């Protein structure tokens, strides 16, 4: 059982088009019904500094951005988010819902960009420190389905990458799901949003934390 005297950090991961953002909004509404609304964050971004970094990272007009630069910018945004937003919220006994976090760099830069997952893990440790998620919901959706869902919207620099890149990202998330680490819980992103929400709530209930009350 988790320590009921501290907050909760719940992160959401998955390939493009997996419905993470819709799930987070719905889950935030349900948690808010318990009393205090959760703290909603996103990566890259979540702070004034991070949002400026996000604008660079996702700008399709910057195809020359190198993979190493991309990784270091991602980690820089993360380091700022942890110290400015995540740790203060946890110290204040709040529930934090974060749209992507350190695992995203393992999948996107480590696997997708082929920079090496071990290398990314070292940088993540430096950026995150003790702010490790209590629960990570992996919203898994086959890449080909994700491409169909995102085809009719303005796509950012990462969404515009080729199919092989997104296949590697998905494979990395799949490996996390199969790793046996109890932090990872798979949400079937082929379901309707309502079913995804109920599955996510069941995983939160299993944390048995005081902040979740009668969720």
What is the model's pLDDT at position 154?
Answer: 85
Cα 160 to its chain centre, rounded Å, is 19
What is the model's pLDDT at position 150?
Answer: 83
Four-point Cα dihedral 57, 61, 67, 73, nearest 10 = -20
- In tens digits, the chain (215 residues) has pLDDT values of 445 458 999 999 999 999 999 999 999 999 999 889 999 999 999 999 999 999 999 999 999 999 999 999 999 999 999 999 999 999 999 999 999 999 999 999 999 999 999 999 999 999 999 999 999 999 999 988 988 888 888 889 999 999 999 999 999 999 999 999 999 999 999 999 999 999 999 999 999 998 998 88
In angstroms, the CA 213 to CA 93 distance is 14
Query: Which domains, ranges and CATH numbers included, belong to the chain?
Result: 8-209 (3.40.50.300)
In angstroms, the CA 13 to CA 33 distance is 24
Residue 135, helix vs strand vs coil: strand
What is the model's pLDDT at position 3?
Answer: 52
């Amino acid at each position: 059982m988790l320590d009921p005297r501290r907050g909760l950090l719940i992160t959401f991961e998955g390939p493009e088009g997996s419905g993470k953002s819709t799930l987070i909004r719905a889950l935030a509404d349900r948690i808010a019904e318990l009393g205090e609304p959760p703290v909603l964050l996103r990566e890259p971004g979540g702070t004034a500094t991070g949002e400026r970094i996000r604008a660079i990272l996702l700008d399709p007009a910057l195809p020359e951005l190198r993979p190493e630069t991309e990784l270091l910018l991602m980690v820089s945004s993360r380091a700022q988010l942890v110290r400015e937003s995540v740790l203060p919220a946890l110290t204040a006994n709040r529930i934090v819902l974060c749209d992507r976090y350190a695992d995203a760099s393992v999948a996107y830069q480590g696997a997708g960009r082929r920079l090496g997952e071990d290398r990314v893990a070292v940088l993540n440790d430096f950026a995150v420190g003790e702010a490790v998620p209590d629960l990570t919901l992996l919203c898994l959706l086959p890449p080909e389905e994700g491409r169909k869902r995102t085809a009719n919207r303005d796509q950012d620099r990462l969404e515009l990458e080729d199919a092989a890149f997104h296949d590697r990202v998905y494979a990395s998330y799949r490996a996390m799901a199969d790793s046996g680490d109890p932090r990872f819980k798979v949400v079937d992103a082929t379901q309707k949003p309502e079913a995804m929400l109920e599955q996510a709530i069941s995983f939160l209930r299993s944390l048995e934390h005081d902040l979740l009350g009668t969720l």
